[in-house]
Chain A
Amino acid sequence: ETGVTQTPRHLVMGMTNKKSLKCEQHLGHNAMYWYKQSAKKPLELMFVYNFKEQTENNSVPSRFSPECPNSSHLFLHLHTLQPEDSALYLCASSPPGLGVEKLFFGSGTQLSVL
Chain B
Amino acid sequence: AQTVTQSQPEMSVQEAETVTLSCTYDTSESNYYLFWYKQPPSRQMILVIRQEAYKQQNATENRFSVNFQKAAKSFSLKISDSQLGDTAMYFCAFMRAFTGNQFYFGTGTSLTVIP
Chain A contact residue count (CB 8 A cutoff): 27
Interface size on B, residues (CB 8 A): 24
Q: Is B115 an interface residue (CB 8 A)?
A: no
Asked if A108 is at the interface (CB within 8 A of a chain B CB), the reply is yes
Interface segment among B43-51, B60-68, B70-78: the answer is B43-51
Q: Which residue of B lies closest to A58 (CB)?
A: B102
Q: Which of A33, A40, A94, A102 has the most CB of B within 10 A?
A: A102
Provide the residues of chain B in CB contact with A106, threshold 8 Å.
44
B91 surroundings in chain A (CB, below 8 A): 43
A to B contact number (C-beta, < 8 Å): 54
- Between A and B, 14 residue pairs with Cβ closer than 8 Å are A40-B9, A42-B4, A43-B91, A55-B100, A55-B101, A56-B102, A94-B101, A101-B97, A102-B47, A103-B37, A103-B47, A107-B42, A107-B43, A110-B43
B102 touches A45 (CB 8 A): yes
Contact at B101–A33, with CB atoms within 8 Å? yes
Q: How far is A9 from B105 in the complex, measured between Cα atoms in Å? A: 23
Cβ contact of B107, chosen from A31, A41, A48, cutoff 8 A: A41
Q: How far is the CA of A41 from the CA of B102 in the complex (A)?
A: 17
Instruction: Give CA–CA (A105, B103) in the complex, Å.
Output: 13
Q: Which residues of A are found within 8 Å of B33, using beta-carbon distances?
A: 101
Cβ of A96 to closest chain B Cβ, rounded Å? 10
In the complex, the answer to whether A2 meets B98 with C-beta atoms within 8 Å is no
How far is B4's CA from A1's CA once the two chains are assembled, in angstroms? 26
Chain A interface (Cβ within 8 Å of chain B)? 1-2, 31, 33, 40-43, 45, 48, 50, 55-56, 88, 90, 92, 94, 98, 101-108, 110
- Closest residue of A by beta carbon distance from B9: A40
Is B88 at the interface (CB under 8 A from chain A)?
Answer: no
Of all A-B residue pairs in the complex, the 3 with the closest CB atoms, nearest first, are A105-B45, A43-B105, A107-B44
